[in-house]
Amino acid sequence: MRSLRIFKQSFVALAMTLAAGHTMTQNTASAQQVTPAAVADPFLWLEDVDGQRSMDWVHRENARSLPVLENDRRYPALLQSALQVAQNRDRLPLGGIQHGYLYNFWQDESHVRGIWRRATVASYAAGDPEWQTLLDVDALASTEHANWVWEGADCDPSGARCMVSLSNGGLDAITRREFDIASRSFVANGFVIPEAKSRMTWIDHDTLLVATNWGEGSLTPSGYPFILRRWRRGTPLSSAQDYVRGAQSDVGITPFDVTDTDGSHHVFIDHNVTFFESTIQVMTASGPRELTLPRKANFNGLYRGRLIVTLLQEWRIAGHTYANGELVAIPLNTATRAAPTIEEIYTPGPRQSIEGVAITRDAVLVAGFDNVRGRLQRFALNGNAWSGAPVALPQTGVINIVSADSRDSHAFATYEDFLTPQTLYSLDDKAATARNVRALTAQFDATPYVVEQFEAVSRDDTHVPYFVVHRRDMQLNGQNPTLLYAYGGFQLSQTPSYSGYIGRLWLDQGGVYVLANIRGGGEFGPAWHDAGLKTHRQVIYDDFYAVERNLVARHITDPRHLGISGRSNGGLLMGVMLNQHPEMVHAAVVGSPLIDMLRYDQMLAGASWVGEYGSPSVPEERAFLEQISPYQNLRHRDDFPLVFIYTSTKDDRVHPGHARKYAARLEELGIPFLYYENTDGGHQATANLREAGRRRALEYMYLAQRLMD
């Protein structure tokens, strides 16, 4: 469904969620450009995504590595458990609310690609949803002989028509097709946006704003569109008229629409100047007008004529200073003035954060953390004054607002922790009280386990929290098989969440699970993330090393029994830690990783991430990247562990060339490794539930071999 909460984080989620606007073929060509870094790179040919030579290499590595894991006598049982988790029907059907319905996308063993469906909010809140199937993606793929993967839907203000997004095998590039809800069919001669990493929104039933690949010169260096055009029904897309243009030096441009609590519809345009900085315009009868906002802010939506905004930087305006991380309201009718009216709603403390904001007809809901433990608050405007109160929910895990609509008093939230399955709550009484609607059945017996939270002290004396999930009777003998996971980037917090995979494939096999809340995430607000930006990134790696050492100091594990895991930006974390401290671990899962940090900005969406990592074209930032880039700093060491690397051929977000070149460099140095490249599946390296289960089984089989044998 159309997003009803617009965050600047939505672009971060596009971060690492949408990617460049090039097709894979275009990026393959660009990968062959000769640069100084490329001249010295003997494995540049592995960036040729679908080339015969590179695919022969992929098939050879898969054929060599997979039998090592799949021929283990324990693997069939692990795979069976993983598939049971992946295909478990006992999952909460979550989704978005619009016009009295909750829309949900559902997958199971009978619907591998999935079905898009809806139920009335009333039946859903009662715990007995009456589902109406709208689109069967399995049937569609079969009829059209296509490898369709569901990517969502954006609906017009009336809810009658939606632009359904489908990708080929999990690519970030999507095809958008107009779908009629009443007839449950695609609209004949309706709107169609061909495959691209496009952005769009509805102005009205007959008009779209579209940013897409318009041809040569229409994309930014990041590969995102920067030209926004107005497209009228009944005309070809090529005839769409320019509405506004960003700068080609920007990251991209994103139109979005928001409905206020009175039902009024508003269209905005987000100019993504850098990855974390934007300017936002509002569409008016006289043309777009820029909102007065700091460049780093999350626009969450509209409530009673007010923009609800989370500040991601300190904001000094009209003689007043507003805190980094603060939640404010700005009346829309003042929002384009040089000095708009600003109302303060809530300011988190130094060990608190705002994770999500949602708007109902009656209130602004704020989910966040207090020392990485979830909480939910409700704020409302009484006259001209804002007042807030907590919503009573458990506070030892994570709370997510999963459904809300500015035209509806209903909202829904979930709670979970490491040992408590996800539980759905209906937020009743104008979202002031929480009522348990349904709790999932446990996927493993949590009785033997306990969760503890500790802190490690990093090199600069920063206290870094981490969670340990282990058996109650765990012996502090320093020999417990332990898996340490972290991410450390893009202000994405790592939460104490329930996972059947971790429970059944790791804890039940005798393992200990650790989640580290290192800097780079958002667990303590924007400042926790900002501390590790660009040339300051070493603090992230120091934090992770501090947690590794603290686990050993507490006699939970030792380097022989410690494994680490991360994917995407977390794969970069793995690569750096393996170079800086290989002696600390005996296993590492390196998933869909960023590895070549001197070329990352030339590969797929990489140029959009220079706000996070710094640019190889800026001398000071390049000098730092040269120090930490896993690919260039890889050296033969006798204490380097055998690693497991995985990626996907169809990952058009983080180029599979990163993982391939890393593996090739390891081979060149005579360092053993295991490698798996799924030829389907996009950035998640899985295109369906069966592949999701298989990937987890491979990971935990590898970890068992390395840490338990």
Question: Tokens 């006289």 map to which residue?
Answer: 286
Rounded-to-integer distance, Cα 626 and Cα 393, Å: 47
Whether the CB-CB separation of 547 and 585 falls below 8 Å is answered with no
**CA 348 – CA 368 distance, rounded (Å):** 9
Token readout for 142 is 């079969």
Q: How far is CA 93 from the centre of its chain?
A: 19
Tokens 């700091």 label which residue?
Answer: 294
How many Cβ atoms from other residues are within 10 Å of residue 177's Cβ? 18
Would you say the C-alpha torsion 32, 33, 34, 37 has a positive or negative sign?
A: negative
Q: Give, in order, the Cα–Cα distances in Å from 181 to each of 155, 184, 206, 498.
A: 10, 5, 16, 34
Give yes or no: 265 in active site: no
Contact 355, 493 (CB under 8 A): yes
Q: Active-site residue among 167, 568, 592, 648?
A: 568
Q: Strand, coil or helix: what is 675?
A: strand
Residue 427: partners with Cβ closer than 8 Å, 6 or more residues away: 360, 365, 391, 410, 411, 412, 413, 433, 434, 435
Asked if 687 and 168 count as a contact pair (C-beta separation under 8 A), the reply is no
Beta bridge partners of 589: 565, 644
- Calpha distance 693→174 (Å, rounded): 24
Name the pairing type of β-strands 512-516 and 207-211. unpaired
| Cα 369 to Cα 497: distance, rounded to the nearest angstrom | 13
CA distances from 648 to 212, 598, 645 (A): 25, 21, 11
550 vs 542: CA distance, rounded Å: 12
Looking at residue 269, what DSSP letter applies? E
Q: What is the DSSP secondary structure assignment for residue 191, as one 8-state letter? A: -
201: DSSP letter: E
Nearest to 49 by CA among 664, 606, 648: 648
CB 491 within 8 A of CB 314: no
CA distance 454 to 466: 5
Respond yes or no: is residue 568 known to be catalytic. Answer: yes
- Which residue among the candidates 111, 470, 561, 683 is catalytic per the annotation? 683
Question: Around Cβ 207, how many Cβ atoms within 10 Å?
Answer: 16
Rounded to an integer, what distance in angstroms lies between the CA atom of residue 14 and that of residue 198?
Answer: 12
DSSP assignment of 418-471: SSS--EEEEEETTTTEEEEEEEPPPSS--TTEEEEEEEEE-TTS-EEEEEEEEE
CA pair distance 4, 19, nearest whole angstrom:
22
Tokens 């777009």 appear where? 288
- For 644-669, give one letter per residue: b (16+ CB within 10 A) or e: bbbbbbbbbbbbbbbbbbbbbbbeee
- Judge contact between 538 and 626, C-beta under 8 A: no
Any idea which residues carry the catalytic annotation? 568, 683
